[in-house]
Structure 1
Amino acid sequence: MKPEPDFLDQPYDPRDPSPWLALYLDRSTPLDEAVKRAWLADSSSRSRQYVLPFVRPLARTLIVLIQVLKTFTPRKVAFSRALHRLLAWGMENFIRPEANWLILRHFHLGSQVLQFIAANAPVEVPTHPLRPRRIADVREEMFLVHDLNLYNFVIRLNQALRESGRQLQRVERPDLSMIEQPPLRLEDMPRRRRNFLDLQSSIELFTPIYQLLLTDSDFWRATNSLQLDETIGLYAATLLDAHSHLVLVNNRHPLVPMSTLRAGFRLTLHGLSTEMLHAVLIQLRQRQDAAQAAVPATSAAACAGSAS
C-alpha cells in the first residue's frame, strides 16, 4: 500500500481546487495534525469513493432483514466473543492502516475524556479505561465494553451528583494530567495490499454483523450510545465553561432515539467528535504546562534581580 498522501505536495490549480487540500489547510475546527492527515487520507481513498456507495445500501438492507429474523429467535442469544474475534480478524486483514489507527485511538481517547470528567467532577466516579496497544486487544470484547463504560459512567456520575446534591460546574484549573496522545503508531498498523477498506465502509459492514451476533438490547444500546455525544460534550463544556465548542457535536438529541439504519454514519461522526474534543483538551493541557513552566523561570529571574 502507498503511504498516506502529503496534501501540501499536491499541485494547486485555482480552476480545479482539491477539496482535500482545502479541508487539510482549514483550521476552523480543532483536530490533531496527524489525525487530520490520516482522516483525510482515508476519506479520499478509492475504497470510500467506489466501495462505500455499494456497501451502505447493502448494510442497511441487512439491518432490516436481521431485525425481522431476530423477532423469531431467542432474545438473549449472543456471540460476543465470536463477534470480537471476527472484528479483530477483519481489522487485521482488510482495513486500511489509517482506519485501524483511528479505531484503536478512539478507545484511548474515549477513556481519557471520561477520566477527565471524573477527575474534575465534585464527586467520586470510578472509570474503566481501555488502552489497546494492538488490534488483537480488540478480541477482549472491547467494542461492547466501550459502550458499557459510557452508560455506566453517565449513570454513576449522575447518581453521585443526585445523592450529594451537587452539580458539575466550571473548574478554575482543571486536572488535565490524563490527557495525552495515545502510544499508538500509524506505521505499526497492517499495510498489506488487501488492507484497502476505508473507515466508513468498514463501519457500515461491521454494523449488521454487530447486530447479528449480539442481543437486540446490546445492539440498541450500542447504536443509541452515539447520542450521548452531546451529553459528554455538555459535561466537558460545563467544566471548561466552553459551550461554544458544542457546535462540533452532531449526534443529537440524546432524548430522541434514532433509527439503527444510520448507525454506521453516526458512528463516524462519533469518532470525529471525540477526536475534536480530545484536541481541545490537548491544547488546554499544552497551555497549562507552558504556564507552569513559565512560573519557575519568572521566580528565578525575580530572585536574581533581588540578589543583585
Structure 2
Amino acid sequence: MKQLPDFLDTEYDPRDPSPWLSLYLDQSTPLPDPVKRAWLRDSSSRSRQFVLPFLRPLARTLIILIQVLKVVLPRRWAASRLLHWLLAFGLKRFVTPEANWLILRHFHLGAQILEFIARNSPQPVSTNPLKPVTIDDLKDELFLKHDLNLFNFVIRLNQALREHGQQLGPVAQPDFSMLHEPPVPLESMPRRWHNFLDLQSAIELFTPMYQLFLTDNDFWRASNSLQLDETIGLYAARILGAPEHLVLLNNKHPLVPLSTLRAGFRLVLHGLSTEMLHALLVMRQQQTTGQGAAAGGSAASAGSSS
C-alpha cells in the first residue's frame, strides 16, 4: 500500500484543489498530523464515497426492524461475547488499517481523559482504564465495558463531589502526567487487499449488530453515552479554566437523548471529539512544560548574573 494518501501524493493544482489537502494543511484544529492523515485517508477512500451511501440507509432500516424484533424477544436476551467476537473478526478482515488504528487509539485516549479529570478533581475517584493493543483484545467485551466505564465514572465523580459540597474548578498546576501517545502503531494493523471498509461504513454496519446482540437497555445506554461528550468536555474545560476548548466538542446536549437511528454517525463524532479533546490537553501540557522550562531558564540566568 502507498505510504502517502492520494491528496499528499498528487501535485497541487489550483484549478482543481483537493478538499482533503485543504483539510490536512488547515491548522485550526489541534489534531496531530499522523492522526489527521489517517483520518482523512480513511475519509477520502472509495469505500466511503461509494459504499457508505448505500450502507447507511440499509443499516438504519435494520435498526428499525431489530427494534420491532426486540418486542418479542426475551427482555434479557443477549450474546455480548459473540457480538465482540464478530466485531473483532470483521475489523481484522474487512476494515482499513487507519480505521482499526483509530478505534484502538480511542480506548486509550478515553482512558487518559478520564484519568486526567480524576486526578485533577478535588475528590479522588477511581477509573477502570481499557487499553487494548491488538484487535483481538476487543473480544473481552471492551465496547460494552467502555460505555459502562463512562457512566460509572460520571456517577462516582459527582457522588463524591456532591457528598463534600464541591465542584470541579480551575487547577493552578494540572496533572498531565497520564497523557501520552498510545502504544498502538499503525504499522501493526491488518493491511490486506480485503481490508477496504472505511471507518464510517464499518460503524454503520456494526451498529445494528450491536443492537441485535445486546439487551435493549444496553443498546440504549450505549447510544445515550454519546451525549456525554459535552459533559466530559465541560469537566476538562473547568479544570483548565478554558471554556473555549468546548468549541470542537459537539455531539448535542447531554440532557436531550436522540434517536438511535443516527447512532452510527454520532459514534464517528464521538471518536473525533475524543481525539480533539486529547489533542487540546496535550497542547496545554506542552504549553505548561514550555512555560516551566522558560521560567527555570530565567531563574538560572538571574542566579548566575547575581
For Structure 1 versus Structure 2, the TM-score category normalised by the shorter chain is over 0.9
Within 5 A, what are the aligned runs for 1:200-279?
Answer: 200-279=200-279
Match status 1:85 vs 2:85 = yes
Q: Deviations over 1:22-68 (max 9, x none)?
A: 10111112111110000000000011001101110110011001000
Q: If the length of structure 1 is used for normalisation, what is the TM-score?
A: 0.96
Greater mean deviation of Cα atoms: 60-69 or 286-295: 286-295
Q: Cα distance, 1:5 vs. partner?
A: 1.1
Q: Give me the TM-score of the superposition, normalised by structure 2.
A: 0.97
Shift of 1:283: 0.8
Deviation at 1:296, TM superposition (A): 4.2
Q: How many angstroms does 1:16 deviate by? A: 1.4
Residue correspondence of structure 1 range 124-135 to structure 2 within 5 A: 124-135=124-135
Contact 2:98 2:186 in 1 (8 A): yes
Structure 1 Cα separation of the partners of residues 192 and 293 of structure 2:
44
Q: CA deviation at 1:212?
A: 0.4
Does structure 1 retain, via aligned residues, the 8 Å contact 2:249–2:277? no
Q: Percent identity?
A: 69
Structure 2 residue 280 is the aligned partner of structure 1 residue 280: yes
The reply on whether 1:75 has 2:50 as its aligned counterpart is no
CA distance in 2, matches of 1:300, 1:222: 53
The separation in 1 between residues aligned to 2:292 and 2:141, in whole angstroms, is: 40
Alignment match, 1:145: 145
- Cα RMSD over matched residues? 1.3
The separation in 1 between residues aligned to 2:279 and 2:6, in whole angstroms, is 21
Q: Which residue of 2 aligns with 1:65?
A: 65
Structure 1 position 292, deviation (Å): 3.0
Pairing of 1:190-201 with structure 2 (within 5 A): 190-201=190-201
1:183: how far off?
1.1
Alignment gaps of 5+ in structure 1: none
Q: 1:271 Cα deviation (Å)?
A: 0.5
1:14 aligned residue: 14
| Corresponding residue of 2:123 | 123
Q: Gapped runs of 5+ residues in structure 2? A: none
Indicate the residue corresponding to 2:290 in structure 1: 290
Name the CA distance, whole Å, in 2 between partners of 1:235 and 1:170. Answer: 10
> Is 1:4–1:38's contact at 8 Å kept on the other side of the alignment?
no
Aligned-partner SS, 1:29: coil
Conserved? CA contact 2:168–2:239, under 8 Å: yes
Counterparts of 2:7 and 2:37 in 1: how far apart (Å)? 8
